[in-house]
Amino acid sequence: MTRTRPALEVELFRGSDAITDGVLTPDVLRTPHFVRLFRDAYAVRGTPITHELRCRAAALVLPEAATLTGVSAATIYGVPLATGDDPVELAAPSEARAHRRPGMRVRNLRIPDEESVPWNGIRLATPLRTAYDLLIGRRSLVERVACTDAWLRSGLVDFEELRRIVVKRHDHGVVVGRQAVELVDPRAESFPESELRVLLNLNELYPVPQLKVCDSNGFIARVDLGFEEEKVAVEYDGAWHGDANQLPRDRERMNRLQAAGWHVVYVTAKWLRSSPRSVAAVVTQTLRERRQTPFRTHSGKKSAPIGR
């Protein structure tokens, strides 16, 4: 006999409440009809498990003093820095006993009320506090910069205000946060582009993000990262470039750049992950060669080598 799923009017609920109210029994709660997100927090099977749903589930079982922050807060505000598989990121004082819960990344601190707002029974960090926590959180320098780039693109935070806070505060992680804030540039349009730019910056290479390339006839293309004097573009080559409709456009764009005297270095996801040092080395060598070798401009005239 096939069991039918018990009728529930909500997609997310506390198991203890459902049992107390007589809606479910413990045995029924353990059936495949339900998915346990955290201890005592359940979703009805078939409900899309987004990061926002995980945050709402965490709010069901956490005390009021807990505050969503970092990538979780950013995702709630509409900047999807976390997926449905990522742990919920929050801060909570030690007395809240929110630590060591699987699926949650908890910092042992109380975020002041003026730096948060009420949200589903707990607290949500303000946009400025969210930005600050992205910079000082437990991530690599590159990840901190890339997350902050994306967050600043939302327009919810003033960069100079963020910089002032990072300089004057002394929380754990702020030393790396101060290094990260100096590398932030919201012009990058994707996480990998931010990673690539930071890699180059750390190797004393400073391209312009989303550089517009023009010739005497006007706009040619916009490149991910550009060294305008040397006419070198560094492009992150994501999986979408293999799309059948995108390939002709990419080739046309490449032809226009080459005709204007530009050299393009394509960096794939695999290359960036497996050998970042060689990425920086190739870009460095390309720039060196371009400075030493005359190249033709869009007018057909040779340009003299660029010295330093």
Question: Which range has the worst mean pLDDT, 20-29, 257-266, 297-306?
Answer: 297-306
pLDDT of residue 5: 52
Q: Is residue 70 part of a domain?
A: yes
**Which residue did the predictor score with more confidence, 5 or 250?**
250
User: Which domain range does residue 229 map to?
Assistant: 202-303
Q: What would you report as the CA-atom Rg of the chain, rounded to the nearest whole angstrom? A: 25
Q: What is the CATH number of the domain that holds 268?
A: 3.40.960.10
pLDDT tens digits, one per residue of 53-98: 999 999 999 999 999 999 999 999 999 999 999 999 999 988 766 6
Percent of the chain whose pLDDT exceeds 70: 88
Q: Is residue 138 part of a domain?
A: no
Q: Is residue 135 part of a domain?
A: no
Same structural domain for residues 31 and 119?
Answer: yes
Of 92, 108, 128, which residue sits at a domain end? 128
Q: Is residue 229 part of a domain?
A: yes
Percent of the chain whose pLDDT exceeds 90: 77
Q: Is residue 269 part of a domain?
A: yes
pTM listed for this prediction? 0.84
pLDDT tens digits, one per residue of 180-199: 999 999 999 999 999 999 99
Q: What is the mean pLDDT of the chain?
A: 89
Q: Is residue 158 part of a domain?
A: no
Of 101, 128, 155, which residue sits at a domain end? 128
pLDDT of residue 300: 40
Q: Is residue 5 part of a domain?
A: no
Same structural domain for residues 28 and 111?
Answer: yes
pLDDT of residue 274: 95
Of 128, 147, 181, which residue sits at a domain end? 128
Q: Is residue 28 part of a domain?
A: yes
- Given a cut of 50, whether residue 307 has pLDDT beyond it is no
Count of structural domains within the chain: 2
pLDDT of residue 246: 66
